[in-house]
Structure 1
């Protein structure tokens, strides 16, 4: 039976979700709040959007669309306020919200506060009514001692940093829009990783879509779409325009306006354009509606996203959906997570570097077309419906009491003598492996047991198994795929057989540290030191997993943990199954990531040398995993041969007999030993 629909109270105190982005203090947050509400409504949920009244003629309640209402509360003067003046409205908004809930028979399952103003006002009211509260910031203030915009948006008023800390620490869950924002919240406000979830925004690919007939013959158009303020750096966009080949006649469109706190900034931009001699090629369009912005993006040749700080960079996703390549700065928070292969993410803020990157796109129509196709492909997999489904799942966990600190509850209530109770209570398990086939050979029975029991199991593999030995004749004649592609396909099939819901590769998003360039951890190779013990290959290269900085791999795994939010980590014990150096390193990395994120780490016992179980592990037979494990082993046909099954018998768990590529024959028993690693 489907779960009951949710009734959500979404709080957006300082700006109405219906306000046009790019005007005053309206921006990506407005889009996220409204579009996620619409997508939640399409899923059958209902959402009430609460905001502050900014005009005497505005109705108290407005039906936005089916399942969505906008409720305006009297809080402060009924007129627009600068963000720097908004603190005066927080206490009145709290009073008005409390009065509204007292006067209306509306039962809310969850309160979702957007921005710290909303959180400070809504937190005490939600607590009084026993309603779980989720907090999103959309922008995290720079530290008070920050000397550069690199650190983020300066606090617009004295209470912001304290307000963010309060709401981050007291809310049941913080929902960030990117891994970068999640890390910032954890580090600046000391919030445990178990109380921060990441739900990335989406894009409406029907509104934002490529032009049917792109016009690449006329002068190119550079587009900047954001509020006009120093944090968004439209000045860099103007400098880029001035450094392009003037014969191109390129134009720059600034789609946005300055807020009251930056009223003089537009004049400064005009002065800069005049000083650089490009004033006649800079158009200040002003704030754009969704439809207007989509048209601007379809007509643009390139979107420039030069912001100093973005928690995500929604306009990048919208531009890519429109088939417009994006150029952005890597260190701007979550921007790197919002830009796919069709874009260019730069490490420099030098205008000459940006101009060169722009020229590479403007000067080659084929290259522009290639990037345009990649951009659209990247965006089509990131819809609002997918975002809302994830958000609804997060809401349900909070409502069920699991969102506040599921990891802490599990770890605190589990004895090291009974790690199976930890696994049996886990809703999400992240298993960390070194190579394709390890998920089956090292942990197949336990993973199949978990998925058959309804757990969500996510797999991350450190390498692509490039150095694995190949069984002669295991690849059909004419198969010209790279070996890593063959192993990837085998891993897909094995994962499916085990019931694994998703898999990732370390060093690629979301298993990549925020702001880091993608990195490849290559299989370190191995040699058999004894018939049962592996050692490192003698010709290990510089990109081998065992020769890469350990801290990089730990940071990448932590990023994935932040994304997946597992209750438990599962991987090898410290012997690494049969001593493969990559296995041993994965154990080291998983241990470090577990310590850093406070996620329990369950170690799986290595191969048995005899029939005597290691008493330091807790053992369980899982005969129900036979079919799944056998099918998963069959999938890895280049690495092993399945010789047959042994059915369970008296005192024997049964298992699958196999021959490895090195010729060793093993029984993979349906008996697994686990222990909870001591921190």
Structure 2
């Protein structure tokens, strides 16, 4: 196992301990709790945070070894309908901030549903902690006319809130490919920022019992969800009405009524009476996990009639119980939750559904095969596997987590202006949060061209002095505490005399790939002794004792020889000093290799622009967009400096 993680899980509007199917509890509650328990079994520590809905609820509940539930204040200590939950976001955020600010910081914060994300994301950013967002249901667009697009927004803040947390969280965790596509399309989220972690099932709790043929001959149709229009229990009643009473079929509606649909149970009772099936319908109410498992084992078929589901966890639980599932084709992610034994219908016509039910129950061999296939499919999905995948995603956020708790960070760059072009937004972000940022630059850019007119005619000031003044001005603009030159104390190996590493210059080997200038001499950075350069950097690392060192990735920004050499020097020095190396992506997000985790940093555009404007001899700032600065290099090429950074933790820094 990798290093144990400290994980904060936020579920504002419903406690993970609430029984699904009651009020606003559902599959999300199961996913949150079961993944947390599985993460704890793997050695991680999980703290769950939810809103206090009962004044008598204890501050902390020890759920299981490694899992604690915290009740935080957020509005009145009483149940709130989802339509009223927005009033709880601000007070919950303040309580969460106070809690996290006084203890050991978590490695990640994972919010479930948009209420939680809007509450927790600002705190994650303040504290430098990576933030992940799960939705579990995505609001239908404002102009949607049917429930097939999802549940209508219960309050005006939902769609803007979902858009905010979808775009600004470090990653979005979707429960299905269908949900991932919905988030991408509705909120314009890049696919690289979405990970899919499908739920699992407890195959011991949800397991078959008895002869399946008994369930076939005396069939109970089961509906298991909250009683609200989106879940369509009315369709289940219509299906039952199409089955002749002599078929001996009955229907169990298992689920509670949401706070926003208090009259809906009475509407269902009236509909059952109108359809003349009231004597064959049982409204079983909300069930705990054991009660639901018992209903699943007794059922002949699960009817998943929802208009929209991001996954359909009850389908997986039914299949684990050896119970076939019939569902609607267009209900979001349900097709990803149903194995070969299930039936997925393209119609919502109750006659079509009734025919599917009757034909399955009428064929003993087909029914037995459906039951066996359902169980076999469910055995391939476990909560431990789901949690292992989730922990791997959390571990991928390690560089951001590391920087969130860092007090001192060292950045390594090859030339003056590289720190502003490659990591300017990151530097300004770190400095704004009180991190002491130090910079070491390998060369003075002696071989670089000069922007015409940048140095007055007749000036006798050496170019390296001009560029030293430029990098000082840029460092001030970004908030860098102190800068160093490689080869000068303290960036000098013990006992060595001060030395200079010269700019290697650059020539294009082919389009997009650079090599050293033909005039680069043996004292150029790319051709000097690697062990000597690494020893100089290791000496600085030993002097500063940074929490992390940030350098180039192995591509070194279009393959510039000094950048590539800086990567190898940093990797070797970090390995020798035993300090984590974090790589900054050389490529934009859409072309970057796997493993980088990106963060938007739009609030630092002014600082980055000021830093770039300091480099008047090397480039010209020609424009500013909403989230980028456009610069023109002395050679005439334009570059968009974006306010986002991709990082990955180098696991084996000595290699390369």
For residue 178 of structure 1, the aligned residue among 168, 176, 185 is 176
Q: Deviations over 1:231-271 (max 9, x none)?
A: 00000000000001321120000000111100111111111
Cα distance in structure 2, aligned partners of 1:54 and 1:180:
32
Corresponding residue number in structure 2 for 1:394: 393
1:385 is matched with 384
Q: Distance in 2 between matches of 1:129 and 1:401?
A: 11
Matched-pair contact (CA < 8 Å) for 1:63–1:70: yes
Distance 2:21 2:135 in 1: 18
Distance 2:72 2:240 in 1: 44
Contact 1:205 1:321 in 2 (8 A): yes
Task: Pick the structure with greater CA Rg.
Answer: 2
Provide the secondary structure at the position in 1 that maps to 2:54.
coil
2:143 paired residue number:
145
2:186 corresponds in structure 1 to 188
Q: CA separation in 2, counterparts of 1:287 and 1:203?
A: 19
- What is the match of residue 265 of structure 2? 266
Residue 127 of structure 1: aligned partner: 125
Question: Matched residue of 2:285: which SS?
Answer: coil
Measured at CA, do residues 416 and 309 of structure 1 come closer, stay the same or move farther in structure 2, by a change above 3 Å? farther
Calculate the TM-score normalised by the size of structure 2: 0.62
Partner deviation per Cα, 1:263-301 (whole Å, 9 max, x = no partner)? 111111111111111010010000111111111001000
Could you say which residue in structure 2 is the equivalent of 1:206? Answer: 204
Cα 1:51–1:416 shift into 2, 3 Å? farther
Distance 1:97 1:402, change over 3 A: closer
CA distance in structure 2 between the partners assigned to 1:335 and 1:186 by the alignment: 18
**Contact between 1:250 and 1:281, CA under 8 Å: does it hold in 2?**
yes
Structure 1 residues 107 and 53, CA gap change in structure 2 (3 angstroms)? same
**How far off is 1:387 after superposition?**
0.3
Alignment of 1:15-26 (within 5 A): 15-26=14-25
Q: Does 1:367 align with 2:366?
A: yes
How many Å separate the matches in 1 of 2:511 and 2:75?
55
Are residue 85 (structure 1) and residue 84 (structure 2) matched?
yes
What is residue 339 of structure 1 aligned with on the other side? 338
Identify which range, 361-370 or 109-118, moves more after superposition. 361-370
Residue pairs, 1:166-315, within 5 angstroms: 166-214=164-212, 215-216=214-215, 218-315=217-314
- Secondary structure at the aligned position of 2:143 is classed as coil
**For 2:281 and 2:553, how far apart are their aligned partners in 1?**
60
> How far apart are residue 318 of structure 1 and its match?
0.2
- Say if 1:85 and 1:157, in contact at 8 Å, map to a contact too: yes
Q: How far apart in 1 are the matches of 2:59 and 2:286?
A: 25
Deviations 1:191-214 (A, max 9, x none): 000001100000000000111433
Cα 1:132–1:416, aligned 2, differ >3 Å: closer, same or farther? farther
Aligned match for 2:153, one of 152, 155, 160: 155
Displacement of 1:367 in angstroms is: 1.1
Aligned to 1:56, the other structure's residue is in SS state: coil
> Retained in 2: the 8 A contact 1:325–1:372?
yes
Structure-1 separation of matches of 2:320 and 2:254? 18
Give, in angstroms, the shift of residue 91 of structure 1: 0.5
Q: How does 1:473-512 map to 2 (within 5 A)?
A: none
User: 1:216 touches 1:365 (CA, 8 Å); kept in 2?
Assistant: no
Q: Which residue of 2 aligns with 1:448?
A: none
Helix, strand or coil at the partner of 1:370: helix
Give the superposition deviation at 1:150: 0.9
Aligned to 1:622: none
Worse-matched range after superposition: 88-97 or 244-253 = 244-253
Query: Gaps (5+ residues) in structure 2?
Result: 404-421, 424-509, 515-551, 557-589, 597-656
Call closer, same or farther: CA 1:402–1:342 in 2, change over 3 Å: farther
Match of 2:50 in 1: 51
Q: Which residue of 2 aligns with 1:97?
A: 96
3-state SS of paired residue (2:30): helix
Q: CA 1:389 to 1:246, structure 2 compared with 1: closer, same or farther past 3 Å?
A: same
Shift of 1:399: 2.5
The CA distance in 1 between the partners of 2:401 and 2:47, in whole Å, is 24
Cα distance between partner residues in 2 of 1:277 and 1:339: 32
1:76 matched to 2:67: no
CA distance in 2, matches of 1:388, 1:177: 12
Alpha carbons 2:108, 2:401 under 8 Å: kept: no
Q: Which residues in structure 2 correspond to 1:346-495 (within 5 Å)?
A: 346-401=345-400, 417=512
Kindly indicate whether the alpha-carbon contact (under 8 Å) linking 1:254 and 1:283 is maintained by their aligned counterparts in 2: yes
Distance 2:313 2:384 in 1: 15
Whole-Å Cα distance in 2 between the matches of residues 418 and 199 of structure 1? 37
> How far apart in 2 are the matches of 1:271 and 1:334?
31
SS of the residue corresponding to residue 39 of structure 1 reads helix
Pairwise CA distance, 1:364:
1.4
How many residues matched? 420
Matched with 1:323 is 322
Contact 2:11 2:116 in 1 (8 A): yes
**Contact in 2 for aligned 1:173/1:403 (Cα 8 Å):** no
In structure 2, C-alpha distance between the alignment counterparts of 1:144 and 1:566, rounded to whole Å: 35
Distance 2:595 2:130 in 1: 20
Q: 2:110 matched to which residue of 1? A: 112
1:605 match: none
CA offset at residue 418 of structure 1? 5.1
Q: Tell me, what secondary structure is at the counterpart of 1:258?
A: coil
CA 1:144 to 1:273, structure 2 compared with 1: closer, same or farther past 3 Å?
same
- CA distance in structure 2 between the partners assigned to 1:240 and 1:398 by the alignment: 48
Q: Residues 216 and 56 of structure 1: is their aligned pair in 2 closer, same or farther, counting only changes over 3 Å?
A: closer
Aligned mates of 2:287, 2:320 — CA distance in 1: 17
- Give the secondary-structure state (helix, strand or coil) at the position aligned to 2:50: strand
Q: Secondary structure at the match of 1:400?
A: helix
Partners in 2 of 1:16 and 1:219 — Cα distance? 37
Over 6 Å off, 4+ runs: 422-426
Cα 1:567–1:46 change in 2 (3 A) is: closer
How do residues 552-567 of structure 1 correspond to structure 2 at under 5 angstroms? none
